Structure 1
Amino acid sequence: MIVKPPEKTEQLRQLEIIMKRRSSIPSDLSELYGRELAGYLGEQSLPYYLHLASFTSHYDLYNLRLEFNNYHFQMDGLFLFPTFFLLIEVKHLKGTISINQAGQLIQTKESEEKIYQHPLHQANLQKEQLQHLLYSLGHDTIPIHTLTTLTHREANLTFHDPDVIPIQQLPFRIKELSKTYAEAQLIADKRLQLSKQLISLHRNRPLSFSKLTKDNVKNIKRGVYCPRCEAIMKRIYGTWKCYSCGCQDKQAHLSALIDYSYLFGYSITNKQARWFLLLDSIYTTSRLLKQLDIESKGRTKFRIYNLKNLLLRK
């Protein structure tokens, strides 16, 4: 049973909007986007192979970010089986994958090498933190096994480690582990209860926003995108119209305002909304913002609207 499904992180959603709205993308942002997207794609492939393991009773939590002793740790996948818990670190890497003498993971792709921390070291550190947290919740004897799976079909592993495997081997490895961990730990109801408790402790990573400086705003593609063809729409006769494909949508500005909130933060004024939505009228903009039914403070032209609730509606 998937209790917390694999979903795009807020960081990935923000990076997608940055990639869409910026006219030039720094290389570090492009690389960060690639890593976040790869992680999401890797996690998406796990449910299918977990299902192939033919376990009738397990509770699955993806991308769980927890806190212990004022530090946060994030697990790609945590799976609560009757006899043990499985913590999986996902790597969506292609090319030749090797481990050097220093215990680092080396990815070689098109004659280019990239060096990563050994993924099992990452998983084992998460395991230590999870064990301490579970102990504080009254669960101190449950065995936790760590495993790394390579989810890209073009990953060529040059070494053998039973716990660093291509994803196609995951069902077979889980069956082996079920024989190793044979003693029942928690009944289904207790594991479901624990799953919900861990979800209640989940905290998203805080986002960082760009400042509305002259240099930043010059690099931003403004306007309301057409939901059909992504051309810039015009506000006319109480609706948004795309003159490229003919699409009309009264609520198209909602998506643009969500983009704004991911770029610059949750607070917006009438002037800033006019600038971003490419509107001329103070009164039209004020009407659109009031119709959102969101929190605001201040009066008249100094009123500040809080867009955060828009993200919960998407």
Structure 2
Amino acid sequence: MIIKHRSRPIIIKKLESLLKRLPLLDEKREEIRNALRKCLSGYRGEQSLDYYYRYLTSNNLRFLHGIRILHKDYFFQIDTLIITPNFLLIIECKNIAGHLYFESPYDSMIRSLNNQREAFDNPVEQVKRQSYHLMSILNDLKCPSVPIESLVVMTNSSTITEFSPAYKEARSKVIKSSGLVPKIEVLSNKHPGTILSIKEIKRIIKHLLKQHLPEDPDVCRKFYIDPDSLLKGVFCPECDVQFLKRHQRSWYCFTCRKVYKNAHESALLDYALLISMTITNKDCKEFLNLPSTSQGYHILKSLNLPFTGNRKSRIYHLDNLVKKTTSKEDVSP
């Protein structure tokens, strides 16, 4: 049973908007592209595991995807948490290509690819830290002492993993996607006794969901970009780079010669993701390159956005616009 569905991380949409709004010659473009590739790769790796989850035969599994909780002044995030009456399982997904070598708990994971070597945080130690935080939370809830298992799943089919003979823990915890189902069966046999009742499982889930805080980074600040330097205007949905002209309550593209009625919604979404979740008539006029604030007023009013203040000092809240757009990208297994 899927309790918390996986959703597309908001940072992906923010980075896409940032690349669209960044001047073409900005020196930060390649850095942002690389960050976007990394986020997309991780997300696709997590998605790929849905294929294997369907082969799990037990009906007593509860799935929580993408839990992020502040605990002891530290945010810890779990890609997938599987809750069973017998044990809990933390799954950390890694979509990393190349040859991966695990030396010891005290060393980084070394990736060799294209004649280059690169060090990564050791994911085995990462899931151990996640287990520690999760166990502490369960202890604070005064839950029964339930075993917490953890796995690192390499979702890239071309990945080769190698372990030093002494690092047996990594060998037992790091698996490929195809080994997930048999590994969970091994863990089920390892923990045959029921520890958590349905009521206790529901209490744990309710508490974790209540503590969940989605990551919502300020990408302009993250990459040291002045929001005033971003490109303003409404992009053509067809040409993608051509700016539209406001004409008779619609938008006209001089390149593809098409008329778009609601093209401003995408631009306002960029504004919300990159600059602010609130906007005034003046802000709208300037960001959409409109000739007057009255046009900004009519556009914002037409969206039925919640607002505070009177007409001259009115502030519109863009939260619903963001939710409406990003919810379409959520994944429902």
The equivalent position to 1:240 in structure 2, one of 251, 257, 265, is 251
* Amino acid in structure 2 at the alignment position of 1:280: P
Of 131-140 and 164-173, more deviation after overlay is shown by 131-140
| In the alignment, structure 1 residue 207 sits paired with structure 2 residue 217 | yes
* Distance (Å, rounded) in 2 between the aligned partners of 1:58 and 1:65: 20
Is the 8 Å Cα contact of residues 38 and 92 (structure 1) preserved in structure 2? yes
Deviation, 1:203, is 0.7
* Distance (Å, rounded) in 2 between the aligned partners of 1:20 and 1:154: 32
> Which runs of structure 2 are paired with 1:72-83 in the superposition (5 Å)?
72-83=75-86
Q: Which residue of 1 aligns with 2:114?
A: 110
The equivalent position to 2:129 in structure 1, one of 105, 111, 125, is 125
Q: Which residue of 2 aligns with 1:273?
A: 284
Name the count of aligned residue pairs: 311
Of 147-156 and 229-238, more deviation after overlay is shown by 229-238
* SS of match in other structure, 1:182: coil
* SS of match in other structure, 2:67: strand
| In the alignment, structure 1 residue 89 sits paired with structure 2 residue 100 | no
Is the 8 Å Cα contact of residues 17 and 273 (structure 2) preserved in structure 1? yes
* Amino acid in structure 2 at the alignment position of 1:194: I
> Which runs of structure 2 are paired with 1:130-149 in the superposition (5 Å)?
130-149=134-153
* Amino acid in structure 2 at the alignment position of 1:235: R
* SS of match in other structure, 1:115: strand
* Distance (Å, rounded) in 1 between the aligned partners of 2:4 and 2:258: 36
* Distance (Å, rounded) in 2 between the aligned partners of 1:92 and 1:208: 25
Of 67-76 and 115-124, more deviation after overlay is shown by 67-76
TM-score, normalisation: structure 2: 0.84
> Which runs of structure 2 are paired with 1:216-295 in the superposition (5 Å)?
216=226, 219-230=229-240, 231-295=242-306
Q: Which residue of 2 aligns with 1:36?
A: 39
CA RMSD of aligned residues (A): 2.4
1:228-274 CA-to-partner distances (Å, cap 9, x unmatched) read: 44243332222223444454432221121011111112132323222
* SS of match in other structure, 1:53: coil
Is the 8 Å Cα contact of residues 15 and 219 (structure 2) preserved in structure 1? no
Q: Which residue of 2 aligns with 1:158?
A: 162
* Distance (Å, rounded) in 1 between the aligned partners of 2:322 and 2:297: 20
* Distance (Å, rounded) in 2 between the aligned partners of 1:304 and 1:134: 42
Is the 8 Å Cα contact of residues 123 and 146 (structure 1) preserved in structure 2? yes
TM-aligned CA distance change 1:209 to 1:308, over 3 Å: farther
Of 265-274 and 225-234, more deviation after overlay is shown by 225-234
Q: Which residue of 2 aligns with 1:194?
A: 204
* Distance (Å, rounded) in 2 between the aligned partners of 1:301 and 1:105: 57
* SS of match in other structure, 2:226: helix
Structure 1 stretches lacking a partner, 5+ long:
none
Deviation, 1:298, is 4.8
* Distance (Å, rounded) in 2 between the aligned partners of 1:141 and 1:289: 53
TM-aligned CA distance change 1:71 to 1:140, over 3 Å: farther
Is the 8 Å Cα contact of residues 209 and 264 (structure 1) preserved in structure 2? no
The equivalent position to 1:48 in structure 2, one of 46, 51, 58, is 51
1:283-308 CA-to-partner distances (Å, cap 9, x unmatched) read: 11111112233343455555433323
Structure 2 stretches lacking a partner, 5+ long:
164-169, 326-333
* SS of match in other structure, 2:112: strand
Of 23-32 and 99-108, more deviation after overlay is shown by 23-32
TM-aligned CA distance change 1:14 to 1:95, over 3 Å: same
1:11-67 CA-to-partner distances (Å, cap 9, x unmatched) read: 222112112221233444333323322221111112221222322221111110112
Q: Which residue of 1 aligns with 2:190?
A: 180
* SS of match in other structure, 2:150: strand
TM-aligned CA distance change 1:183 to 1:189, over 3 Å: same
Deviation, 1:131, is 0.7
Q: Which residue of 2 aligns with 1:307?
A: 318
Q: Which residue of 2 aligns with 1:5?
A: 5
* SS of match in other structure, 1:78: strand
